[in-house]
Structure formats: C-alpha cells, structure tokens
C-alpha cells in the first residue's frame, strides 16, 4: 500500500455533529424561523447531544471533534475579516479640510469615538458588576462586553436594503471597527496576562509587519501577467488554485501567530481575512461563495455545536441566589454600552433610528464566545461567567435584530422606489441588481405561489393585481418612482401602461415592445420602450467590436458599474475637476450640462445641476455621491 490508512477511528460523533449541522437550517426553514440565527439552535442541539449521545465517547474521538472545532473557530475569525470591506473604511478617511459637520458625518471617525465610548462604559459597568459578583480580571471582562457581531449586523441591514445608504454605512463601519480593535486588544491583553510585559510582546507587532508585507506582495503578484495566467488556468474544479492559496495564507498566519502565542491565532486568522478582503475585488463574490461553503458548510457549525456540547449549566451555581439578578444586570449593561454611544447618530438620523442602531450593535455572537473561552482557559474568567456570556450571546443575537426592526421599521413605500409589475425571471434579476445598487424595489405578482417564492428569495414582493389601480394607491406611487411593466404578456403590458398613463398620469413607465405596432402605441402614450431585438443585436455588436469593454461592464457587475451623479452640493459649484479628490476607484467618463455632453479634463469647471457619468466600485460611487450631493 502507498498509504497506511487506519480505520479504527470512531466516526459516530462526527456523524451526529454533521447531522445537526445539516438538519438545523432545514428545520428553521420548515418552521419558518429563518430569521433566527441558526447558530442559536446549533448551540442548543450541541448541549443536548453532549448530555445524551456523546457522554461515553473515547478521549481520542473528542480530541478530533475539538480539532475540527478549533479549525471552525479559525475559519470564523478569517471570514469575519473577509466580511469587512476595507475599501469602505479607507473611503471614510478624513480629507484635508475638516469641520465638526464633516466629523459627525464621517463613518470612520464616528465609529472610533463610538468604540472608545463603549470601552469607557463597559469598564464602568464592570466596576459596578464587580460589587455584585467576583470578577477576577476587570479589564478583560470589559473587553468581552465591547464585542459586537458584523456577521449579524450586515445580513440585517442587507435584508432592509440599507447596506449602501449613510445610515447603514455608519452602523457597518462602527461594527467593523469594534471587531478589529476588540481582536487587537484581546490579543495584547491575553499575552500580557499570560506572560507579563516582556520583549516578546513586540512579536505581535511583527504580525502586523507580516500583514503589511503580505498585502503589498499580494497586490504586486496579482498584477503580474504570468500569475494572472496561472490563476486563470488553475482555477478549474481539480486545482482550485485560489482556494488553495487562501488556505495556505490562513495556515501561514496561524502558524506564525502560534509561534508568538496561542491567543494570537485569533488575530492572525482575522488579519489574513482583511488582506484577502482588500485584494479579491473582481473575484470577491466567487471566492466568498467557495470559502463560505468550506467554513459555514462544515467547520464553523462544528465550532458552535461543540460550544453547546461543552456548555456546563452547573457552573452557574457559583452565583447561588444572585444568578438571575446578575444575568439581568449583565444583559442590561451589554445593551447600554452600545445604546448610549449611539447618541452620536442622533443629529443625522433622529433619536429613534440612533437607538435602534445601538440595539443592532448590541448583537454578539462568535467573538464574545471565543473571548470568553480564551479567558476561561487563562483563568481570568470563571466557569459561571463563561456560561453567562454564552447565554448572553444567544439572547442578544436573537433579540437585537428584532428590536432594531421594531424601533426603525423599514418603509419601502417612502422615498424613491422602483415598482416592477410581474414576477418573471427578468423582473427578479432586475430587482436583485437594483438592490446591489442600493435602490429600493418592489415586485408586484398576481400569482400567490410565485409571490411567496419571490419573498423567500429575500426580495420585496406584493401579491396583487398589476391591472388594478388600487394596487398603486396601496404602494403610494409617487411621480419620481419608476414603474417597470414586465408581465410576460405584450397585451397585458400595454393595458397596464395605458392605465398608468391615462388614469394615474404617471410619466416614468418602462416596458418592452414585441411588435412595431405595439411600440408605436406605447410611444404615443409617452411610455419608454425596450426593443428586445435591438438590445440583442447591440449585444452581439459589442461582443464583436468591443468585447473587452463589454465584459468589463457586464461580467464585473458585482464590483464595477456606471452611475449618474447630479451635482447638488453648492461647495462644488465653480470648482475645477483637478481641485476635487475623486476616489482612486472612480473614473469620470462624461459630464452632461443641460442637453450637452462633453468629456471632462483637469481644467473643467463644475456647475450645480451637472450630471456626472461615473464608472467605479460601489464604494467609490458612494464616495462620489457624498462629495457631489447635499
């Protein structure tokens, strides 16, 4: 035999864990509990299998599960870093001219002040809790309370289509900063607690040096033609060179971090996630899909299930009669350390939305569990406190999103929106693409089964008849709203468009034309039409004459797009192009003034009302809008 394989290992424990990982999301879907994070049930199921099924397993099998759980923990920290959009943080760096108004509108600076305020409040709360129970290490306990969960914050905001607006950016960047700084402070604190102030403490700084070198080298390598060619040739199913490279980088940082100190592993995995987040760009969505599959498909569920397996409720007996009082005070403190600093958002979004953002920031999950487990191992957290933090993680990640949505309910009927009549595959694709641009859209579908299916895909859909005028009253149709009529039936498209124009006097209507006769009738009504045959012919033309440009605009849609930005900021009026610091990932292609188009150059003067045609990443386009619009 070329390889000596032993089959004496007991796979039953792994079978049980895999069954829970597979069955949990299915059960949540069947019982329509998809909005509840599956990790809550993974921890709960883990506790029950630990108590009833895994009591008598041998030490070696448990060690294997613990190894997989540790790998899941490393993947969790890595994907946590990968979730953070470094470009968004860099785009928030303050410019030369600075004022209080600019400060309060800057997500990065407000996020830093938010985090510092949280630390002060957390330490104050820890001192008060220390009067109630014994806390072995006050500073470490306070750091645990400062944690938040980007993994909860981002999906909630994405579901509400608020991930790209200013409110969403404020919360996301505040959560990202909390994650980054918490992990850095945990690493230094754990090292000092374990080893004291020694020269080896500088090794952790060496990890940041490796981080910067890896970032610089990676950016150089990915632009070398030979590396691009190899990456393309070896990206097929058998090689998956990008995934293998990602795993290599994770292991490199984990091994280096282990050499420094065991507690530095958390920081090492997180840093490599940040590196890949800033480097992936065009491949980002595909890579995230594959890495998410590895992490959330296998390793990470094992981590949370093992948290449940090792959860010891008897440890809570250390609090005696003070248990429920302590848990209540701890929960209140965990909320207050996030809600009070949210007053920073009050002047921009109002008290209710500011407090709602504070509640969402109160959601805690992986980092609080990881930090508490490390503290338990070092002896600075008691078993009872560790069990309490696991309970708090379950409560906050369950309740915070619901409180957030209750305090600041999303209202798709206010503000500019796009109403898409018809639930065809084309309509669904359009809704998804508009969502990626941060635009609100509502689908109208008459078939109840199809409407429910669209809603299950995470899109906003109203079960109603597009031919009924009451539907548009219900949707609070505004003159600035666009209505896309895409029912799949040319006659029905015409009938709905005619009703919208003649009875509701609506102007912004777009539909497809199938024949020249219908197209003529629609144009007579003043409805914008799409000639499908002409669009297909133009696509063929682009693929023949300008294939590179076409692929750049179409295939890289997830990362690059073209938008029209109208100048409404009076501070830009009369300034030259060369005086305005455009984002490095934005290209100004064309300027429209009145009915005239022209190509801009450095000496071009801008005027209020000019429409800029900008090509770039979503972060760059957001940055451009912030500069050009009020």
- The SS3 call for residue 464 is coil
Q: Are strands 560-566 and 611-617 parallel, antiparallel or unpaired?
A: antiparallel
CA nearest 493: which of 523, 533, 466, 473?
466
Look up the pTM and report it.
Answer: 0.70
Alpha-carbon 239 to chain mean position: 29
Torsion of CA 267, 270, 271, 272, to 10 degrees: 130
CA nearest 281: which of 85, 541, 60?
85
Neighbours of 412 (CB within 10 A): 16
- The SS3 call for residue 558 is coil
CA atoms within 13 A on the CB side of 530: 14
Distance CA 346, CA 369 (A): 31
* Structural domains present in the chain: 12-407 (1.20.1530.20), 418-538 (3.40.50.720), 559-628 (3.30.70.1450)
pLDDT of residue 284: 47
Distance CA 272, CA 257 (A): 11
pLDDT mean for each 10 residues of the chain (630 residues):
59 89 86 77 90 82 87 84 72 66 81 94 95 91 90 76 76 86 88 81 80 77 66 55 81 84 80 78 59 84 90 88 90 96 91 93 87 88 92 90 85 76 86 75 90 82 91 88 89 90 90 80 86 79 75 58 83 84 80 83 85 80 79
pLDDT of residue 343: 93
Both structure tokens of 137 = 């290490």
- The SS3 call for residue 509 is strand
Both structure tokens of 27 = 């059960």
Alpha-carbon 183 to chain mean position: 18
Residues present in the chain in total: 630
CA nearest 164: which of 624, 629, 618?
618
pLDDT of residue 275: 81
Distance CA 330, CA 67 (A): 31
CA atoms within 13 A on the CB side of 542: 13
Q: Give residues with Cβ within 8 angstroms of 386, minimum separation 6.
A: 315, 372, 373, 375, 376
Both structure tokens of 181 = 């700084």
pLDDT of residue 361: 94
Cα distances from 578 to residues 30, 147, 192, 383, 604, in angstroms, run: 58, 42, 50, 61, 8
Distance CA 456, CA 449 (A): 11
pLDDT of residue 107: 83
Distance CA 438, CA 424 (A): 21
Distance CA 496, CA 486 (A): 10
């Amino acid at each position: 035999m070329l390889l000596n394989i032993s089959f004496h290992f007991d796979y039953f424990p792994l079978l049980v864990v895999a069954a829970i990982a597979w069955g949990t999301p299915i059960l949540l879907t069947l019982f329509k509990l998809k909005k509840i994070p599956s990790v809550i049930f993974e921890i709960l199921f883990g506790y029950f299998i630990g108590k009833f099924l895994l009591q008598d397993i041998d030490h070696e099998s448990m060690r294997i599960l613990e190894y997989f759980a540790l790998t899941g923990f490393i993947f969790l920290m890595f994907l946590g870093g990968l979730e953070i959009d470094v470009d968004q943080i860099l785009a928030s760096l303050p410019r030369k001219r600075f004022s209080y108004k600019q400060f309060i509108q800057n997500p990065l600076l407000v996020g830093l002040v938010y985090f510092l305020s949280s630390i002060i409040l957390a330490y104050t709360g820890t001192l008060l809790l220390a009067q109630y129970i014994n806390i072995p290490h006050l500073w470490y306990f306070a750091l645990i309370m400062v944690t938040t969960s980007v993994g909860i914050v981002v999906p909630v905001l994405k579901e509400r289509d608020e991930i790209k607006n200013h409110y969403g950016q404020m919360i996301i960047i505040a959560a990202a900063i909390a994650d980054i700084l918490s992990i850095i402070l945990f690493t230094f604190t754990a090292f000092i607690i374990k080893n004291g102030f020694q020269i080896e403490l500088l090794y952790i700084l060496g990890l940041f040096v490796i981080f910067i070198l890896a970032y610089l080298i990676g950016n150089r390598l990915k632009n070398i033609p030979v590396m691009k060619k190899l990456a393309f040739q070896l990206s097929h199913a058998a090689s998956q060179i990008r995934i293998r490279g990602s795993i290599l980088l994770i292991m490199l940082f984990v091994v280096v971090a282990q050499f420094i100190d065991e507690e530095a592993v958390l920081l090492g995995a997180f840093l490599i996630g940040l590196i890949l987040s800033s480097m992936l760009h065009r491949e980002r969505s595909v890579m995230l899909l594959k890495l998410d599959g590895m992490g959330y498909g296998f390793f990470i569920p094992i981590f949370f299930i093992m948290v449940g397996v090792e959860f010891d409720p008897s440890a809570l007996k250390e609090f005696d009669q003070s248990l429920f009082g302590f848990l209540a005070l701890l929960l209140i403190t965990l909320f207050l350390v996030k809600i009070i600093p949210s007053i920073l958002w009050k002047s921009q979004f109002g008290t209710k939305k500011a407090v709602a953002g504070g509640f969402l920031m109160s959601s805690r999950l992986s980092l609080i569990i990881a930090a508490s487990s490390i503290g338990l191992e070092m002896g600075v957290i008691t078993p009872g406190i560790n069990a309490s933090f696991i309970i708090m993680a379950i409560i906050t990640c369950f309740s915070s999103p619901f409180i957030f949505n209750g305090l600041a309910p999303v209202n798709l009927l206010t503000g500019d929106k796009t109403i898409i009549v018809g639930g065809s595959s084309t309509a669904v694709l359009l809704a998804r693409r508009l969502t990626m641009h941060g635009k609100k859209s509502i689908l109208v579908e008459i078939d109840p089964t199809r409407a429910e299916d669209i809603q299950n895909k995470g899109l906003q859909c109203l079960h109603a008849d597009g031919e009924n005028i009451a539907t548009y009253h219900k949707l609070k149709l505004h003159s600035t709203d666009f209505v896309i009529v895409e029912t799949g039936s040319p006659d029905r498209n015409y009938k709905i468009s005619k009703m919208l124009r003649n009875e509701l006097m609506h102007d912004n209507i777009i539909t497809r034309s199938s024949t020249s006769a219908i197209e003529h009738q629609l144009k007579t009504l003043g409805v914008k039409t799409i000639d499908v045959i002409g669009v297909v012919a133009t696509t063929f033309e682009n693929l023949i004459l300008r294939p590179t440009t076409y692929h750049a605009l179409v295939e890289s849609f997830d990362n690059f797009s073209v938008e029209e930005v109208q100048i409404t900021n009076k501070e830009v009026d009369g300034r030259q192009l060369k005086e305005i610091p455009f984002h490095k990932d934005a290209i100004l292609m064309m300027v429209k003034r009145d009915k005239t188009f022209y190509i801009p150059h450095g000496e071009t003067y801008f005027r209020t009302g000019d429409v800029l045609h900008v090509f770039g990443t979503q972060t760059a386009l957001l940055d451009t809008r912030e500069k050009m619009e009020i």
